Amino acid sequence: MDLVSEQIGALNVITVNEARIDAAVAIQFKDAMRRLTANGTTHVLLNLSQVLFVDSSGLGAIVGAMKQMGSERRLDLVGLTADVDNVFRMTRMDTIFDIHDTMETAIGRAAG
């Protein structure tokens, strides 16, 4: 899977350069997230602005990615596209994550 990690200030920003996080890639996604968050950065921001579709396996993998970071660290989300946003809201997963509209607000809030 094409995931890119970038350190912006105190934030580890991980961008998913894929159109789908679905059953076909859920395990690879979670493994890639484990590798890219292994440096221990406390605050991780997952940029989903290029992801057009997440199914329940993908949703589970995103939750799993947060859980495997341990309870002292944070995984926020940014850039949910319409269908992805709907799935998060229907499953109440929008109450579990801090979800930002844009990178600017997400980074601004982390800095402030």
Partner 1 sequence: MSAPNIDYEFSVSIDASDVCVRKALVDIRRTLGRLGVSEKDCGRIEIVFAEAMNNIVEHAYPSVSGRIDIAVTISAGSVHAVFCDYGCPLPNLTLPHGKLPKTTVKRDSLPEGGFGWFLIHTLTEKLDYTRFEDKNRLSMRIVLDP
Residues that bind partner 1 (CB under 8 A): 20, 22-24, 53, 55-57, 59-61, 63-64, 66-67, 71, 82-83, 86-87, 90-93, 95-96
Tell me the DSSP string of 36-95: HTTT--SEEEEE-TT--EE-HHHHHHHHHHHHTT-TTSEEEEE---HHHHHHHHHTTGGG
CB of 39 to partner 1, least distance (A): 20
Which residue, 66 or 106, is less far from partner 1 as judged by CB?
Answer: 66
CB of 47 to partner 1, least distance (A): 20
Which residue, 14 or 18, is less far from partner 1 as judged by CB?
Answer: 18
CB of 58 to partner 1, least distance (A): 9
CB of 13 to partner 1, least distance (A): 21
Token pair, residue 95, equals 């109450």
Q: Is 8 helix (H, G, I), strand (E, B) or coil?
A: strand
Nearby residues of 13 by Cβ (< 8 Å), 6 or more positions away: 5, 6, 7, 44, 45, 47, 103, 107
Which residue, 1 or 87, is less far from partner 1 as judged by CB?
Answer: 87
By DSSP bridging, strand 11-16 and strand 3-8 are: antiparallel
Which residue, 5 or 28, is less far from partner 1 as judged by CB?
Answer: 28
